[in-house]
Amino acid sequence: PVLGFVSAGRGIVIHTAACRNIAEYSDKPDKWVDVEWEPTIDGEFPVEVRVDTAN
């Protein structure tokens, strides 16, 4: 599952349900947005992707 949150200056930010970053939004339900991945969508949708890694 994925979760969406409204972020000032960034729009809607999508996180997996297991992401540790969603903790900052747990007490802000007014920032939550219903989202889901649609498995049958076919097409290209350019997006900006940010990858955080720990080594």
| Domain residue ranges in the chain | 1-55
Task: Decide if 27 contacts 17 (C-beta within 8 A).
Answer: no
Mean pLDDT of the chain: 86
Number of H helices, E strands in the chain: 0, 3
Give the confidence band of 10 by pLDDT, cuts at 50, 70, 90: confident
- Rounded to an integer, the average pLDDT of 28-54 is 85
- Rounded to an integer, the average pLDDT of 19-36 is 86
Asked whether the whole model's pTM tops 0.85, one would answer: no
Return the closest-CA partner of residue 24 out of 6, 10, 36, 41. 6
Return the closest-CA partner of residue 48 out of 19, 7, 18. 7
